[in-house]
RNA sequence: UGGGGCGUAGCCAAGUGGUAAGGCAGCGGAUUUUGAUUCCGCCAUUCGGAGGUUCGAAUCCUCCCGCCCCAGCCA
């Protein structure tokens, strides 16, 4: 097997790659050219990641190239902010369009010329009907439409009107250019679709040069043809547009005839992948912004600490097919953990501190202990952590009246402090309200490092931080934006989980964390993977939880509560 | 009810006439100074349903059922 074949096989099998492979094998195409064509009207989300990985991935695997093309045909919805964000996010995901950056707006002049040709050929006409009239004469899903009274205008009149539309003589909505196809077609896209509309709006790139703009259908296929795209990949809802896509390419003197193929868009449980909804989430203040770590946007995932490689791996695992589906968010979590487990160094941090005093540890004494940075990677080295008489453990690691199978601290129980000593809880100190505020314990000096010379075992190892040397920090925990796995896009606001963000303001972390670099992933042992949030400052560390560790105990304890034990 | 698609395990998904890959989740068990990781094992006699063709059908044919998309001068 050749290297290229190996790579292609590695890349996985899906019906689109099968088509590409077949086209290359048959000589139908010598090279493959794809494109990722976002409209700059919002931020990219993980659904786009599927498309990006598909388009750029295929180009890479088959030694072709992929264009980044902005489908910027509707200036009323587009913005430079989105253009910048899209480039940043595609790059971050790990893809490079090289010099192949294009815009549908680059082709406005050519598109206009083709529209005139269509008019000259008698294949398009100017319709003066109002939007309401057009809707009324378009027919319904089951009834055919009827021809516009303006359908038989002369070529001369159509040309004159179209030029005057361009010249700005008419207000928005006064007239449109329509293709003359078939008002009785079962496919509504073929019932004389609108090709150009009047929009007196400033375009982020062409400014005020135009007041008429091509529709998606008139721009997309021709842009593909201009760029000599070989495989134009889009989502299922465009299947009905393919006949129109082909009609236009067949009726215009385009330089190439690309083919459109459709695949199912990504859906994920516990979130909504719709630009409309995400935009409303931001504008309605339900989240802090497009990069809120609860958002499924690439910017949000990045801020949460999700590595781009994990997203690419996730996309690879979910495959590409035509069946509508909803992928379990647990699959994304798995891909994130899998990657982070390999690269993240381990540190100790106590999210909800509970003070512990070792009564038989000399007052004022302290010692340095060695801790490994990564259990499976000796090259990651070690660091020193300071142990003393007083430190903090996780509140959840202590229970005064533990249920069966609770291995952690409780009165009389002995546990290991990671890298330090075995300790036994002797006394529980409570405040006036009856809340546990401190634990008085004793340690076994012979267990230094965490092993007992007499071979006795302990069932739990706890993480901890020194009371004197640890640093205060804020830790932000993120849960799914929606509690229910299948939130309703029509009623999303009411379904946003108010507890999706949980802020722990009094966490304590080991001093080494002060050196963590922005964007660097770290594992807080026994808790999960974290990263520094941009809100973090030298005096005030702020961490985001990217994803928690698998937690078998949490499942067991929840089951116990449910069972009433 | 017109047109276009899609139904393989709880979820994603291979499979294209030769006797149901893989992953996630789940469940057991081993190892473990993270209840993590790792490792091992289990998890569809059946492919939306019913007929038919065939030595042989998830794959071919017929009918039926279910789900998704389309009636923007959005993309």
pLDDT, tens digit, 9 for 90 and up, residues A465-487: 999 999 999 999 999 999 999 99
The A 123-142 residues near strand B by Cβ under 7 Å are: 129-131, 134-135, 138-142
In whole angstroms, what is the distance from residue A177 CA to residue A114 CA? 12
Asked if residue A549 and residue A492 are part of one domain, the reply reads yes
CATH value at residue A213: 3.40.50.620
Is A305 inside a domain boundary?
Answer: yes
Structural contact between residues A422 and A416, judged by C-beta atoms closer than 8 angstroms = yes
Asked if residue A117 and residue A233 are part of one domain, the reply reads yes
pLDDT at A11 over 80: no
| pTM for this predicted structure | 0.96
DSSP state for residue A402 in the 8-state scheme:
P
Strand partners, A231: A259
Its domain, for residue A310, covers 275-346+473-556
The answer to whether the C-beta of A184 is closer than 7 A to strand B is no
What's the pLDDT score for residue A19?
97
Residue A228, both tokens: 């000599």
Nearest to A233 by CA among A110, A374, A66: A66
Is A12 inside a domain boundary?
Answer: no
Asked if A484 is an active-site residue, the reply is no
CATH value at residue A443: 2.40.240.10
- Which positions ≥6 away from A100 have C-beta within 8 Å? A65, A66, A67, A68
Is A98 inside a domain boundary?
Answer: yes
Other Cβ atoms closer than 10 A to A468:
11
pLDDT at A3 over 50: no
DSSP state for residue A496 in the 8-state scheme:
B
Asked if residue A549 and residue A442 are part of one domain, the reply reads no
Backbone angles phi, psi at A84, to 5 degrees: -65, -45
DSSP state for residue A94 in the 8-state scheme:
T
3-state SS track over A168-208: CCCCCCCCEEEECCCCCCCCHHHCCCEEEEECCCCECCCEC
Average pLDDT rounded to a whole number, residues A69-77:
98
Domain closes at, from A217, A233, A263? A263
pLDDT at A564 over 80: no
Is A563 inside a domain boundary?
Answer: no
Is A1 inside a domain boundary?
Answer: no
Is A140 inside a domain boundary?
Answer: yes
Give tens-digit pLDDT for A164-204: 999 999 999 999 999 999 999 999 999 999 999 999 999 99
Asked if residue A217 and residue A82 are part of one domain, the reply reads yes
| CA contacts within 13 A on the Cβ side of A205 | 18
Asked if residue A162 and residue A94 are part of one domain, the reply reads yes
Asked if residue A387 and residue A294 are part of one domain, the reply reads no
Nearest to A553 by CA among A453, A437, A460, A434: A460
Within A227-297, where are the H helices? 242-251, 275-283
Average pLDDT, chain A: 96
What's the pLDDT score for residue A560?
67
What's the pLDDT score for residue A559?
72
Asked if residue A353 and residue A340 are part of one domain, the reply reads no
What's the pLDDT score for residue A8?
40
Asked if residue A150 and residue A233 are part of one domain, the reply reads yes
pLDDT at A343 over 60: yes
- Which positions ≥6 away from A280 have C-beta within 8 Å? A286, A492, A493
The A 51-70 residues near strand B by Cβ under 7 Å are: none
Average pLDDT rounded to a whole number, residues A404-433:
97
Is A333 inside a domain boundary?
Answer: yes
Domain closes at, from A428, A444, A463? A463
Asked if A265 is an active-site residue, the reply is yes
Domain count, chain A: 3
What's the pLDDT score for residue A558?
76
Asked if residue A118 and residue A41 are part of one domain, the reply reads yes
Backbone angles phi, psi at A520, to 5 degrees: -90, 135
- Give the three-state DSSP class for A502: strand
In whole angstroms, what is the distance from residue A225 CA to residue A255 CA? 6
pLDDT at A119 over 80: yes
Give tens-digit pLDDT for A353-390: 999 999 999 999 999 999 999 999 999 999 999 999 99
Give A13's pLDDT tier (boundaries 50, 70, 90).
Answer: confident
Average pLDDT rounded to a whole number, residues A208-213:
98
Domain closes at, from A202, A236, A263? A263
**Is the sign of the CA dihedral A213, A217, A222, A227 positive or negative?**
positive
Asked if residue A253 and residue A280 are part of one domain, the reply reads no
How much is the ipTM here?
0.97
R_g over Cα of chain A: 31
Average pLDDT rounded to a whole number, residues A344-349:
98
Asked if residue A234 and residue A324 are part of one domain, the reply reads no
Question: Of A77, A88, A151, A265, which residue is the catalytic one?
Answer: A265
Give tens-digit pLDDT for A246-273: 999 999 999 999 999 999 999 999 999 9
Is A21 inside a domain boundary?
Answer: no
The answer to whether the C-beta of A416 is closer than 7 A to strand B is yes
| CA contacts within 13 A on the Cβ side of A434 | 1
A318 CA → B9 C1’, Å: 16
Asked if residue A66 and residue A38 are part of one domain, the reply reads yes
Residue A558, both tokens: 């929840």
Nucleotide nearest to A266 (CA to C1'): B12
Give tens-digit pLDDT for A491-542: 999 999 999 999 999 999 999 999 999 999 999 999 999 999 999 998 899 9
């Amino acid at each position: 097997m050749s290297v290229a074949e190996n790579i292609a096989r590695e890349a996985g099998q899906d019906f689109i790659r099968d088509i590409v492979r077949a086209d290359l094998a048959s000589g139908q195409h010598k090279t493959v050219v794809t494109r990722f064509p976002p409209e700059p009207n919002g931020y990219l989300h993980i659904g786009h990641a599927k498309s990006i990985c598909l388009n750029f991935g295929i180009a890479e695997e088959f030694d072709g190239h992929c264009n980044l093309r902005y489908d910027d045909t509707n200036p009323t919805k587009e913005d430079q902010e989105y253009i910048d964000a899209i480039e940043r996010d595609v790059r971050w995901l790990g893809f490079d369009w090289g010099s192949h950056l294009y815009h549908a707006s680059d082709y406005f002049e050519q598109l206009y010329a083709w529209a005139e040709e269509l008019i000259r050929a008698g294949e398009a006409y100017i319709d003066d009907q109002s939007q309401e009239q057009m809707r009324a004469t378009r027919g319904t899903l089951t009834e055919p439409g009827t021809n516009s009274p303006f359908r038989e205008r002369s070529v001369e009149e159509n040309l004159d009107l179209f030029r005057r539309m361009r010249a700005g003589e008419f207000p928005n909505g006064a007239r449109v250019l329509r293709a003359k196809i078939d008002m009785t077609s079962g496919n509504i896209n073929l019932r004389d679709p609108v090709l150009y509309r009047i929009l007196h709006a400033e375009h982020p790139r062409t400014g005020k040069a135009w007041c008429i703009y091509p529709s998606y259908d008139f721009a997309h296929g021709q842009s593909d043809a201009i760029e000599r795209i070989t495989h134009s990949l889009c989502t299922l809802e465009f299947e009905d547009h393919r006949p129109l896509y082909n009609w236009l390419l067949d009726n215009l003197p385009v330089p190439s005839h690309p083919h459109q193929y459709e695949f199912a868009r990504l859906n994920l449980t516990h979130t909504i992948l719709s630009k409309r909804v995400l935009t409303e989430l931001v504008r309605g203040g339900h989240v802090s912004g497009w990069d809120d770590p609860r958002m499924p946007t690439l910017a949000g995932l990045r801020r949460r600490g999700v590595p781009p490689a994990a997203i690419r791996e996730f996309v690879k695992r979910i495959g590409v097919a035509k069946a509508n589906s909803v992928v379990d968010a647990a699959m994304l979590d798995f891909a994130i953990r899998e990657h982070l487990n390999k690269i993240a160094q381990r540190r100790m941090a106590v999210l909800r501190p509970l003070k512990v005093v070792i009564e038989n540890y000399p007052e004022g004494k302290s010692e340095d202990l060695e801790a490994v940075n990564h259990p499976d990677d000796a090259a990651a080295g070690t660091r020193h952590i300071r142990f003393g008489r007083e430190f903090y453990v996780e509140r959840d690691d202590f229970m005064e009246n533990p249920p069966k199978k609770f291995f952690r601290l409780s009165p009389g129980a002995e546990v290991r402090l990671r890298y330090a000593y075995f300790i036994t809880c002797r006394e529980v100190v409570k405040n006036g309200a009856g809340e546990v505020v401190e634990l008085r314990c004793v340690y076994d000096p012979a267990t230094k490092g965490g092993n007992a010379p007499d071979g006795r075992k302990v069932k739990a190892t706890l993480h901890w931080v020194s009371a004197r040397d640890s640093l205060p920090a804020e830790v932000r925990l993120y849960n799914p934006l929606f509690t229910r796995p299948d939130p309703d896009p029509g009623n999303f606001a009411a379904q946003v989980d108010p507890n999706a963000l949980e802020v722990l303001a009094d966490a304590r972390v080991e001093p080494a964390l002060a050196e963590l670099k922005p964007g660097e992933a770290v594992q807080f042992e026994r808790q999960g993977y974290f990263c520094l949030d941009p809100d973090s400052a030298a005096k005030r560390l702020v961490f985001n939880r990217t994803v928690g560790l698998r937690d078998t105990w949490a499942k067991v304890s929840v089951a116990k509560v449910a069972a009433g034990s």
